[in-house]
Amino acid sequence: MGEVVSLNSVGDFQKKRQPKKNNKDATILELPLVDLEKTAEIDPHQIAKEVLLKRLSNAPRTRKELAQDLKNKRIEESIAQDALNRFEELGLINDQAFSENFVQNYHARKKLGKNALRQQLRAKGVSEEIAQEAVAQISQSQEFQAALSLACKKIRSIQSDDPKTQLRKIVGLLARKGYSSNLSFQVAREVVNEIPEGLFSEN
């Protein structure tokens, strides 16, 4: 605020000055006070624990994913590793169990083939050995039936295409879903009628 003006008996103005508020000071006063003593007492191990518990309460995570979460929170590497090791000892982090559940769920729901499942697990930081063991639980029959389900659904939308085009589209779909080329062609034979003679020998 500026000045407050009062009128005296003879009509003169007497200026009474009030102290000006400093906007910067006002802004500072509005900021929450930080308890420096309390902040200094925060245990980084406790922070790491809370970060892990919060992440795991939302959904299962691999060790690598959780390690990245701790890194994002600027938790010191040695403290992060201690926390991760402790959670593994308690069974709260288990890449093997995570991988097995991931494979079962994504194979059933999204009809992903073994190759795609393995690649996704590797991207999440699961070791090659664990990823291979996890996808091995899917039998050849299960994988064939999942691929066949995708192919049967696809063929209904491409009935107007010629057989060669149908075959190419189905094989392409299955390849994108992570199925091997051999299995993709095998399934395509099941659903495409009048396959051109000699088509499979072309290459």
Who has greater pLDDT, 185 or 5? 185
Asked whether residue 82 is domain-assigned, the answer is: yes
20 pLDDT band, cuts 50/70/90, is low
Task: Determine which of 11-20, 61-70, 79-88 has the lowest per-residue pLDDT on average.
Answer: 11-20
Whole-model pTM over 0.75: no
Same domain, 134 and 145: no
Asked whether residue 197 is domain-assigned, the answer is: yes
174 pLDDT band, cuts 50/70/90, is very high
8 A C-beta contact, residue 103 and residue 134: yes
The CATH number linked to 144 is: 1.10.10
Asked whether residue 26 is domain-assigned, the answer is: no
Asked whether residue 1 is domain-assigned, the answer is: no
Side-chain half-sphere exposure of 147, counting CA atoms within 13 A:
33
Q: What are phi and psi of 61, to 5 degrees?
A: -140, 155
CA distance 169 to 155: 9
Same domain, 143 and 201: yes
Q: What is the mean pLDDT of residues 77-99?
A: 96
Q: Which one of 89, 124, 149 terminates a domain?
A: 89
pLDDT score, position 25: 45
* Residues 130-161 pLDDT 10s: 999 999 999 999 999 999 999 999 999 998 99
Q: Which one of 89, 119, 147 terminates a domain?
A: 89
Could you list the residue range(s) of the whole structural domain that residue 79 is in?
45-89
Q: Which one of 103, 120, 138 terminates a domain?
A: 138
Asked whether residue 192 is domain-assigned, the answer is: yes
Domain tally for the chain? 3
Q: What is the mean pLDDT of residues 158-165?
A: 91
Q: Is 34 exposed, middle or buried (0-12, 13-18, 19+ CB in 10 A)?
A: exposed
Same domain, 79 and 106: no
Q: What are phi and psi of 13, to 5 degrees?
A: -100, 125
